Amino acid sequence: MSGTTGAAASERILATISEHLGLEGPLLPILHAVQAEFGYVPQDAVAPIAKALNITRAEVHGVMSFYHDFRTEPAGAHVVKICRAEACQAAGADAAVAAAEKVFGTALHGTSADGKVTLEPVYCLGLCACGPSAMVDGKVVGHVDEKKLGKIAKEMRA
């Protein structure tokens, strides 16, 4: 899929931008809102954002690429983030990551061949006393292991 959208989408982009123009430092809120709307930040959104904020497209690109959260391409239907930070490592995160790669059918940073699951590392979900932890479509899960992840994968593919 390319990062371009149609005419209807460009109206949605403009509406999203104008909702946030009154804020001090509106760029991150705009990028978050566009991503919430489309699932990623389409290439088509960059020029109107730059114009509305009176900055260059390069500056918008620079900000987008600085932060891990912003996507330039749509993710899979489900997003699984698995914590790789120290506290989870102490509780067996390496095994959990290996199990996740196996049950979801993709390596970290990738999307499964059927497009169902994007698997990403995350560095701390603040669930450090019930690790290894994960976040599945925005919902937190503690003590993840192959059994728990397998159940989640099965539900996603049901």
Partner 1 sequence: MKIYVPRDAAAKAMGADEVAEAVLREARSRGIDVTLVRNGSRGMVWLEPLVEVETDKGRVGYGQIEAADVPGVLDGSSDKALGPVEEIPYFKGQTRLTFARVGLTDPLSLADYAAHGGLEGLRKALAMSGEAIVKEVTESGLRGRGGAGFPTGIKWETVRKAEGAQKYIVCNADEGDSGTFADRMLMEGDPFCLIEGMAISGIAVGATKGYVYLRSEYPDAIEVMNAACDIARREGLLGASVLGSGKAFDMEIRVGAGAYVCGEETSLLNSLEGKRGVVRAKPPLPALQGFMGRPTVVNNVISLASVPVIMARGAAFYKDFGLGRSRGTIPLQIAGNVKYGGLYETAFGTTLGDIVEKIGGGTASGRPVKAVQVGGPLGAYFPVSQFDTPFGYEEFDAKGGLIGHAGLVVFDDTADMRKMARFAMEFCAVESCGKCTPCRIGAVRGVETIDRIGRGDASAIPLLEDLCETMKDGSLCALGGFTPFPVMSALKHFPDDFNANAKEAAE
1, 2, 22, 66: which one binds partner 1 (CB under 8 A)? 66
- Smallest gap from residue 27 Cβ to partner 1 (A): 3
What is the rounded CA–CA span in Å between residue 20 and residue 25?
Answer: 9
Q: What's the rounded Cα separation, in Å, for the pair 152 and 65?
A: 30
Applying CB under 8 A, the span of 1-9, 27-35, 99-107, 110-118 interacting with partner 1 comes to 27-35
Name, in order, each residue with C-beta under 8 angstroms of 151's C-beta and a sequence gap of 6 or more.
Answer: none
Report, in Å, the least distance between residue 158 CB and partner 1: 18
Contacting residues for 53 by C-beta, under 8 A, at least 6 apart: 26, 27, 30, 60
The size of the interface with partner 1 (CB under 8 A), counted in residues, is 42
CA–CA separation, 55 and 51 (whole Å)? 7
Per the CB < 8 A criterion, the answer to whether 58 and 67 are in contact is no
Which DSSP helix (H) or strand (E) runs through 122? strand 117-122
The minimum distance between CB 7 and partner 1, in angstroms, equals: 27
Q: Is 29 in the site for partner 1 (CB under 8 A)?
A: yes
Binding of residue 68 to partner 1 (CB under 8 A): yes
User: Shortest distance, CB of residue 1 to partner 1, whole angstroms?
Assistant: 22
x/- binding map, residues 119-148, to partner 1, per CB under 8 A? ---xxxxxxxxxx-x-x--xxxxxx-----
Site of interaction with partner 1 (CB under 8 A): 23-29, 31-32, 53, 62-63, 66-70, 85-91, 122-131, 133, 135, 138-143
